[in-house]
Amino acid sequence: MAFWSRCAAQRSNDADSSGVIFAASPAKPKRRTPVSESKPDTSAAEAYESVIVPTVFRDWAEILVREAQVEEGMRVLDVACGTGVVARCAAQLCGARGRSTGVDIDPAMIEVARAVSHKEGLQIDYHCASASELPFEPASFDAALCQQGLQYFPEKEKALAELHRVMRPGARLVVATWTQMQQCAGHWAMIDALERRNIDAKDMRKPFALSDHGVLRELVEGAGFGHVAVRTVQRVVRFPSAKAFVESIAQGAPSSRLALAKVPAAEWPGFLAKVEAHLEPWSRSGHLEFPMGSNLLSARR
Ligand SMILES: C[S@@+](CC[C@H](N)C(=O)[O-])C[C@H]1O[C@@H](n2cnc3c(N)ncnc32)[C@H](O)[C@@H]1O
């Protein structure tokens, strides 16, 4: 079955307004399980972990834990942990004497995070909870990290106040949010192709909602953090082709996949051709390669 037919067959389930996915991956229909309260459908989260984390998020996770100066014995919190890539990097560094903890609002992400950590032999505590109501005592953590999560929170001030509450005085906070969408060639190509077809791309614009250094800094300072510094970090991401890139996003990207699900099946080949043409300058021999920029904020409690 063609890629888009599989997507179309499955896109009736969707996400809430924060970009949280409770639905099935469009690309894995055979593995889909019914969505129920006790057992979430994990296919989108599995796709996120297998195709998007290694290509896009893994490198930045390592940068975040270095920035937070995570070391043996520390108690580290990863907020909006997704499938746990940052929590896993932290666990490697804080070791058995320390503790790595992950929180995410999406039960499917948490289920996959637990399975991956177990497979890798890492002891990590995972909690399914909102960043607005962290289930921890005051001063429970020596460092807190949030990789590409804050921009989705409906109550950003409340979430930062919660982080402030659960961190010990002096603890380091590190937050990453994408820079302007125009600097992320792959997403910009898709947003442009969607909007030229008059398809609402708001779910693909959402990852870039906290691109402004000043806005990010003000939010964090407003929650009572000090020594706030923000810089931009660029990394190159690689996919086998523009088509593989678009299909990866359609399968597993929180929020952005919802925008792609709005492309009518009959328009998919034309849409893909437009994205491929836009990304031609980034195509290298046998693969696609483009830079992505992320803001990296560090602060002290
Ligand atoms: C782009 S993913 C990033 C996941 C992870 N930090 C990583 O680097 O792979 C954004 C995550 O934010 C989570 N999220 C969105 N709103 C949230 C909220 N209010 N509280 C906790 N997590 C939230 C989503 O469920 C999703 O897993």
pLDDT at 26 over 50: no
* Ligand 1 binding pocket includes 110 (Cβ within 6 Å): no
pLDDT in tens, 43-80: 999 999 999 999 999 999 999 999 999 999 999 999 99
Report how far ligand 1's centroid is from the alpha carbon of 149 (Å): 5
pLDDT at 199 over 60: yes
What does pTM read for this prediction? 0.87
Instruction: Give the residue with greater pLDDT, 92 vs 5.
Output: 92
CA gap 228, 300 in Å, rounded: 7
* Ligand 1 binding pocket includes 279 (Cβ within 6 Å): no
* Ligand 1 binding pocket includes 64 (Cβ within 6 Å): no
* Ligand 1 binding pocket includes 82 (Cβ within 6 Å): yes
* Ligand 1 binding pocket includes 237 (Cβ within 6 Å): no
Residue nearest to atom 10 of ligand 1 (CA): 149
Which CATH number does 3-300 carry?
A: 3.40.50.150
